Structures are given as C-alpha cells and as structure tokens.
Structure 1
C-alpha cells in the first residue's frame, strides 16, 4: 500500500507551525506531529513584521527537530516539503520559505507552495469530514465566504476593509487586554461576562462586510467608558459589555452573509476555519442558523483552526500527489495570494 509523508511549514503571521502528516491509500490522514510557537507581544502592542520574522528564525529549527522526534521518523522518509507561499506578512513568510528551500536543497526533496487559506480549508475538511460545505474563513488577516466550484475555491463574499480577527485584535489593544494566548481569545472570555448590549455599526453590503465602522464605533464607546468618562455615561456599560457587543454585532454580520451564500449555492453544511473559528459564540450563532435551515455545522478546535503547520502539510501533500511541485526559482512568497487563484487539482 503506497504511503506519503509531508513536512509542512507555516509562518504567515505571529504563529510559527511545523507539521508532519501521513497519507495512506483509503485511510484518513494521520497527524504525526503538529507543533506551534507563538510570538506574543505585551498588552496594547501589535507585532512588527521584522520582530515576528526574527522570532520565526529563532524557533523554526528547534520546532522542526522536535516535530521529527514526535513523529519518530527521519527526513529521508519525507516525500515533500510544503511551505506557506501566502497570503500573509512578508518578512515572516520569507523567513520560513528560506528554511523550506534550504531543506529542499540539503535533502533533495521536492517543494510544494501552499496557499494559506486553502490549507485551512483542506485541514478543516479532513478533520471534520465535511464534503462540500460553504466555508467561512475568519482570521486576523482574512474574512471570506467560500464555496467550491469547477476546481476552484470561489469567494462569494469577503471583508471590504479589515478582517474580523484584526478588528478584535485592535480592540484588544485599545482596552489593553493581554495578547497571551491571543487577544481574540481573551475578548471571548471577557464577553461571557457582558450583560448589556451596546448598539454598534452593522455594515453588510450584499455578500460583503465592513468592519472598520464597527471598530470605530466600539473604540468611541471605549473612549467614553475608559478614557473620557462623563457623569451621564457612568455605569451605562462595562468593558465586558463592549466585548460582548463587538462579538454579537460582528458575528451576526458573518452569519448573514454565510446564510446568503448557502441559499445561493444550495449548500446543506457550513465549515468554519481560521483562528477566529475557534470562538464558541461564533460557532453557537452559526449552529443556530444552520439548525433553522436543516443544515450541519462543522468546526475544529484550536489545534487545527489556529494557524498551524499540519494544514500546510495536508494541502501540500494533496497537491503533490496530483503532480504539483514548485521549482526552486518559483519558491517565492506572495503576500496577496488570493484563495481563488489556486487550481484545486485534487478535487473532482
């Protein structure tokens, strides 16, 4: 029985991931190793590209060695080396692609360039068993509603400005919430204590969303609460209420455009992928919508929805088995690498 093993390297933002996956004929993919290390900045601060790249360079060799020890295999057993081509932040993408090229040359292994978004989708499909869902891809840098058609993942709707994850992250900085383990997770925990809904801008335009107005609105409310309080606003709402209201408003926008895409393509399931996809409230709201439509919701936990190396290994190995290999000359990165640019050779 033929088998294939892939090494996947992910570093498009502040999370560095190394994954090793095994494919055997007619068997579910087997995760041999899935390690990750996150660059965390102090509260109130974002992460700079140069500092993030330095973090990745400092940790990637250690993670690769640990991954091979965890998987209990040698590099000679690997069939291909998969790396994130994009989308993402230039400097950290470059640092990881450089390591992928170096390993390819050292061990004479073929390279496979992977679209980060497609990696999320394929890992989500593999783990959950979702066959042909409408995909909601939500992360710090991306917000897209996607459906598969004719060998492409078609984008039916997306953000017109900032991603939902970026909106959450920036608000976390405004109210000085910790970045450990992630600002979005800490907003989610804070939101569970909120009881008062604060009216915030809700912007859906057809199949697309806009989150910049939502961020400006909640920032103004936070300014009144925390920095320029007035007697008439005293006790109206809390920081927890703002986190709760931000989530409720932003997630309602996502549910609306996802449901519209489902109606358009006649889908009976939704798959949520990306770092924000771990959010339990988002999953609950989407589940309620699916239940009303007689549809199913698929989602994963933080091992697979947060950026990781195993998703790059999974998508890369699917492409490799269908003849997709990246030459050394073409093993560059593309910061704006659209999901629908990828030819999905492995799906019928």
Structure 2
C-alpha cells in the first residue's frame, strides 16, 4: 500500500492530489483567472500559486482524511510548463518533502495526464491524443517509452483557442476554451479556414492569424456571428487532430484512442473522435474535467507508478524544466 501526494502548477491551475494504490483520495485545485481579453503571465501565475499553496494542501489532507506521516512519497511536476509557476510549486513540494522527511519524485506533466487517463478509463494500450493549452502530441507506447508520432510545430491547440477567445473578449471563467465550445454549439455557418497538416504534424499559427485578422470585419458586416467563427475554428482544428490520430492508429495497428489534456474534455472533439473510432471498429476513451484539466492527482498517480518500481529523485536534482519531452522518460512500470 503506497500513498502518494502530487503537486501540479505548470500553468494557471494549482492542484494537489492524493492517490492510494489507484484510488483518488483527494484532488482539490485553485485556478488563476484573468480579466477577459487577457492571458496569464508567468510572474503573476507564480504569485497566485504561492498565495494558495498551503490552503490547497490543507484541503487535500482534510479531504483524504490522512496525516503527513501516512504519505509515502511526494511528487511534483518537473515540466514541461511555464518556468515561474513550475518553480513556485516545486519549492512547496521540496519544502514539504524535507519537513515530512519523505522521498521526492519529479514527474513529467504529459505522462501524468497519460497515466491518469489510463487509470480512470481502463484503456490498456491506447494511441494517445494529448491536447492542452501548452501541448499537442499524438503518442503511443513502445519499448519503455511514450513515443511521439506527431505534434504541433508551432503553438498548441489550446493556445490557439484561448487566443481567439481573447479576440472575442470572452470570459476566462471557467476557461476560454470552454466558452468557445459553448458558443460553437450555436454556430451554423462554416467559414473555410487554412488546414495545415504536414505528415504527422500540425500547425495552428497560420490559421489563428487568418481568423484573428478576418474576425472583426466578418462580425461587423454581419456576414458571420461570433458563434459561427467559434464553430468553424473548432471543426477545423479538431479535424486536423483526428487526421493525425487516425494515421498513428493505422501505423501502430491500434484499436484504442485515449484523449487527455485540458482540451480533451471538449465534447465536440470527443464526438468527432468517436465517429472516427467507430468507423475503424476501435474504442474511444476520454475523461471529464476532473481529470482532463491539470490536477494534482495525475502527478501523484504517475509518481506512484514510478515509486513502486524503485524510482526517486535525489534532492539536489529536484529542478524544473520548461522543456521536458514525453519521450525522454524511461517508462519502468509498463511491460
């Protein structure tokens, strides 16, 4: 029996989760929300995490009904992510590890998403589409590594949606992507947008520049509504993602798809992926916002997997890195 606590703070969500042998004991989080039309800056996000870390930690311990001495290992997000928020959260994890005299493990954020997705859905060996504000990758497991088959060559899909939400001055509460999804449900008229798939990779920056430039004029003239533009943007970017996922499935001979990351709770993306997997006789696995959106439990779960195969991180190596690729980690817990 191993109890792991996970600290996640790679972007605007501070999450602290506690896992006990594959069971979620607690998973509170606090989100830094900025005014409409604004993104979140690293320095301000780090200040938010510092201000709320102890409250969220206490909440996690209370929810799990455990004491610090019951915990076996402390896990924290090493990267990828935004530098200042990552460091501010890692400092809390390091301090706690020393105060409680517990071993510590640095976890890859992307692998946290994958392992949580596998646990919650029961997916065995899926082709993974990892889509969030900072990352867009198609991943499959082979010989103790999560291999990246395709990815964005510029900005992440979540970043593309968030930045368009800023153009429309949509609220950041609960998230810009969620508010785009709600508007898109009412869209009827499709605007053709640049569709950029390059082999197994995708590109969103040209598409974003195009719609950012056109949007004010199209809305002003009454030719398209904001709802129409959100609908057109979603349909186009999701079609690109499904194309590269299907190609990876064909290459791997896979009959399972798992969608993880913050954009993964988008119902339209799940619906489109569901149509593709059904046509292929494959199975789709996806989770809801409790586990799709950045959270502490996913870091605890990946750290739990690492810890039970004998991994820990020496204290002097508990650093953070903004660039930490999914395929850099040796996956010791899968056969």
TM-score normalised to structure 2 length: 0.99
Shift of 1:213: 1.1
Shift of 1:220: 1.9
Indicate the SS of the match to 1:270.
Answer: strand
Paired residue for 1:298? Answer: 285
Matched, 1:335 2:322: yes
Which residue, 55, 61, 66 being the options, matches 2:54? 61
Per-residue CA deviations over 1:210-239 (Å, capped at 9, x if unaligned) read: 00011012112212134xx4xxxx332110
Shift of 1:273: 0.0
Paired residue for 2:2? Answer: 4
Shift of 1:201: 0.5
Structure 2 unmatched ranges of 5 or more = none
Indicate the SS of the match to 2:320.
Answer: coil
RMSD: 0.6
Q: Write the mapping of 1:103-118 to structure 2, written as runs, cut at 5 A.
A: 103-118=96-111
Indicate the SS of the match to 1:333.
Answer: coil
* Aligned-partner Cα distance in 2 for 1:223–1:132: 45
Structure 1 unmatched ranges of 5 or more = 24-28
Which residue, 150, 158, 167 being the options, matches 2:143? 150
Paired residue for 2:215? Answer: 222
Paired residue for 2:127? Answer: 134
* Aligned-partner Cα distance in 2 for 1:214–1:305: 25
Which residue, 301, 312, 315 being the options, matches 2:299? 312
Q: Spell out structure 1 runs of 4+ moving beyond 3 A.
A: none
* Aligned-partner Cα distance in 1 for 2:94–2:35: 33
Please identify, of 209-218 and 264-273, the stretch whose mean Cα deviation from structure 2 is larger.
Answer: 209-218
Paired residue for 1:98? Answer: 91
Which residue, 240, 265, 283 being the options, matches 2:270? 283
* Aligned-partner Cα distance in 2 for 1:209–1:143: 9
Matched, 1:257 2:244: yes
* Aligned-partner Cα distance in 1 for 2:298–2:202: 26
* Aligned-partner Cα distance in 2 for 1:90–1:168: 22
* Aligned-partner Cα distance in 1 for 2:143–2:36: 45
Count, aligned residues: 335
Indicate the SS of the match to 2:334.
Answer: coil
Matched, 1:120 2:107: no
Paired residue for 2:19? Answer: 21
Paired residue for 1:26? Answer: none
TM-score normalised to structure 1 length: 0.96
